[in-house]
C-alpha cells in the first residue's frame, strides 16, 4: 500500500518511547525482515512483563460503562 514511510516514522516514535516493550521488539523484527533499518534497537535488558496476572486483575474489575449502567 505504500505505507513504508509512515510505518518507519511510527516505529521510530515507538522505539524512542518504548524500547523495551515486547510489541516494539516484534515491530522491530518485522521492519528488519522487510529491509527497513530503525535507529533504536530493542532493549535486550528490558524487564519482561507478565501480562497474565495483569489480565486476570483487569477481568475482576468492572468497566466504567457497567458501573454507570444499571442492569
| pLDDT, tens digit, 9 for 90 and up, residues 23-71 | 788 888 888 898 887 777 777 776 665 567 766 776 777 777 777 877 6
Which of 17, 44, 48, 12 lies closest to 27, judged by CA? 12
Q: Longest Cα pair distance anywhere in the chain, in angstroms?
A: 53
User: In the chain, where are the structural domains located?
Assistant: 4-68
* CA 48 vs CA 5, 14, 22, 31, 39: distances in Å: 29, 17, 8, 21, 22
Helix ranges, 18-50 (H): 22-33
pTM: 0.50
Amino acid at each position: 500500500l505504500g505505507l513504508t514511510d509512515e510505518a518507519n516514522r511510527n516505529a521510530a516514535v515507538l522505539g524512542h518511547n518504548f524500547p523495551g516493550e515486547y510489541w516494539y521488539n516484534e515491530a522491530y523484527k518485522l521492519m528488519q525482515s522487510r529491509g527497513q533499518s530503525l535507529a533504536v534497537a530493542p532493549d535486550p535488558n528490558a524487564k519482561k512483563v507478565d501480562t497474565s496476572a495483569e489480565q486476570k486483575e483487569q477481568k475482576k474489575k468492572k468497566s466504567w460503562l457497567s458501573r454507570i449502567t444499571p442492569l
